[in-house]
Amino acid sequence: MKNYIIALLVLPFALLSQKTITLEDVWSRGTFASKSTRSFYMLKNGLNYTELQEQPDGSFAITEFELKTGNKLRVMVSSSDVSFDGKLIDISNYRFSPTEDKLLFWVNAEMIYRRSSMAKYYVYDIASKKCMELSPAGKQMFPEFSPDGKKVSFVRDNNLYIKDLATGAEITVTEDGTPNKIKNGWGDWVYEEEFSKAEYFDWSPDSRFFAYVRFDESRVKEYTLDYYRGDLYPIRYTYKYPKAGEENSLVSVNVFDVVNNKSSTMDLGAVTDIYVPRLEFTNDANTLCIQRLNRLQNKLEYLFCNATSGQAKVVLTEESKTYVDITDDLVFVGNTGFITSSEKDGYNHLYYYDLNGKLLQQITKGAWDVMEFKGFDPLKNTLYFTSTESGAINRDVCSIQLNGKNKKFLSDKKGFNDITLISGNNYYIYSFSDANTPKMFELRSADGKTVKVLEDNSALKEKINAYNLSKRWFFTFKTSEGIELNGWMMKPVNFDSTKKYPVYMYAYGGPGSNLCNNSWGGSDYFWHNVLTQNGYIVVCVDGRGTLGRGRAFKHSTYLQLGKLETMDQIEVAKYMGAMPFVDASRIGFQGWSYGGYMASLMISKGADVIKAAIAVAPVTNWKYYDNIYTERFLRTPGENKSGYEDNSPTNFVKNIKGKFLLIHGSADDNVHMQNSMELADALVKNNIPFDFMIYPNKNHGIGGGLTRLHIYSKILKFVTENL
pLDDT in tens, 294-304: 999 999 999 99
For 352-365, the pLDDT digits (tens) are 999 999 999 999 99
Per-residue model confidence (pLDDT) at position 43: 93
Beta carbons within 8 Å of 705's beta carbon, 6+ residues apart? none
Beta strand pairing call for 659-665 and 612-616: parallel
For 172-194, the pLDDT digits (tens) are 999 999 999 999 999 999 999 99
Q: How far is CA 16 from CA 7, 13, 213, 463, 534, in A?
A: 14, 5, 63, 16, 16
DSSP 78: E
Per-residue model confidence (pLDDT) at position 10: 36
Per-residue model confidence (pLDDT) at position 539: 98
- Contact indicator for 33, 47 with CB cutoff of 8 Å: no
Angle between helices 523-533 and 707-722 (to 10 degrees): 30
Per-residue model confidence (pLDDT) at position 11: 39
d(CA 53, CA 59): 8
Question: CA 320 from chain center: how many Å?
Answer: 24
d(CA 11, CA 33): 29
Per-residue model confidence (pLDDT) at position 305: 98
> Which of the four pLDDT bands, split at 50, 70 and 90, describes residue 468?
confident
Q: How many residues does the chain have?
A: 723
Query: SS3 of 383, please?
Result: strand
> Which of the four pLDDT bands, split at 50, 70 and 90, describes residue 6?
very low
Which residue in 560, 641, 549 sits closest to 601, CA to CA?
Answer: 560
Give me the domains of the chain, ranges plus CATH numbers: 2-31+471-722 (3.40.50.1820)
Mean pLDDT, to the nearest integer, of 561-579? 98
d(CA 566, CA 53): 52
For 504-546, the pLDDT digits (tens) are 999 999 999 999 999 999 999 999 999 999 999 999 999 999 9
d(CA 78, CA 66): 19
d(CA 291, CA 266): 12
DSSP 469: P
Quote the percentage of the chain above a pLDDT of 70: 98
Per-residue model confidence (pLDDT) at position 3: 36
Per-residue model confidence (pLDDT) at position 4: 31
Checking if the pLDDT of 57 tops 90, the result is no
Beta strand pairing call for 359-362 and 370-377: unpaired
For 218-258, the pLDDT digits (tens) are 999 999 999 999 999 999 999 999 999 999 999 999 999 99
Bridge partners, 222 (sequence order): 240
> Which of the four pLDDT bands, split at 50, 70 and 90, describes residue 8?
very low
Checking if the pLDDT of 1 tops 80, the result is no
Which residue in 207, 206, 215, 222 sits closest to 183, CA to CA?
Answer: 215
Beta carbons within 8 Å of 723's beta carbon, 6+ residues apart? 502, 504, 536, 586, 587, 588, 611, 612, 659
Mean pLDDT, to the nearest integer, of 436-440? 97
Checking if the pLDDT of 9 tops 90, the result is no
Question: CA 541 from chain center: how many Å?
Answer: 20
d(CA 707, CA 422): 38
Rg (CA), the chain: 27
Which residue in 383, 249, 357 sits closest to 300, CA to CA?
Answer: 357
Give the count of beta carbons closer than 10 Å to the beta carbon of residue 21: 20
Per-residue model confidence (pLDDT) at position 129: 96
For 213-226, the pLDDT digits (tens) are 999 999 999 999 99
Helices (H), 177-299: 189-194
Average pLDDT, the chain: 95
Question: What pTM, to 2 d.p., does this model score?
Answer: 0.94
Query: SS3 of 112, please?
Result: coil
d(CA 385, CA 159): 37
